[in-house]
Amino acid sequence: MLEILEISRLLKSYRNIAVVGLSPKANRPSNEVAAYLIAAGYNVIPVNPGQVEILGRPCYPDLLAIPGPVEIVDIFRRSEEVGPVVDQAIAIGAKVVWMQQGIVNEAAAALARNAGLTVIMDRCVKIDHQSLLG
């Protein structure tokens, strides 16, 4: 498990966060987390194949469609659906795969680590940011 200092370093170092599974509904956790990250100064990139725009930002169908750099891939998908997202995170050269609270996929985590990515599982980026940097 990552040290708290490492999580703090990641949140200070990286600014481009793709949120996979971002909901357009304001009351959904993914939307609340993304809105918080935007307010905290991060460049949030929505990823949801069913949407064109979320939170006033262009939305992409998958990670491969994003034109610019992505450093952190924040995943709001069921644990069993994480594998293809991790494959794409590796393909685009992301630095971190962050599986939100309640999401654990050891096989996908091992794949990401073997490709050189930092893996955070079963943690909320909003909660960690608030407690470490907020």
CATH code of 37's domain: 3.40.50.720
Domain count, the chain: 1
pLDDT (tens, 9 = 90+) of the chain, 134 residues, equals 568 889 999 999 999 999 999 999 999 999 999 999 999 999 999 999 999 999 999 999 999 999 999 999 999 999 999 999 999 999 999 999 999 999 999 999 999 999 999 999 999 999 999 999 97
Q: Give the range of the structural domain holding residue 64, as residue numbers without chain letter.
A: 4-132
Residues contacting residue 108 through CB under 8 Å, at least 6 positions apart:
82, 83, 85, 86, 97, 99
Q: Strands 118-120, 96-99: parallel, antiparallel or unpaired by DSSP?
A: parallel
Residue with tokens 């998958």: 62
Give the predicted TM-score (pTM) of the model: 0.96
**What residues are paired with 91 via a beta bridge?**
none
Residue 54 CA to residue 104 CA, distance in Å, equals: 26
**What residues are paired with 74 via a beta bridge?**
19, 98
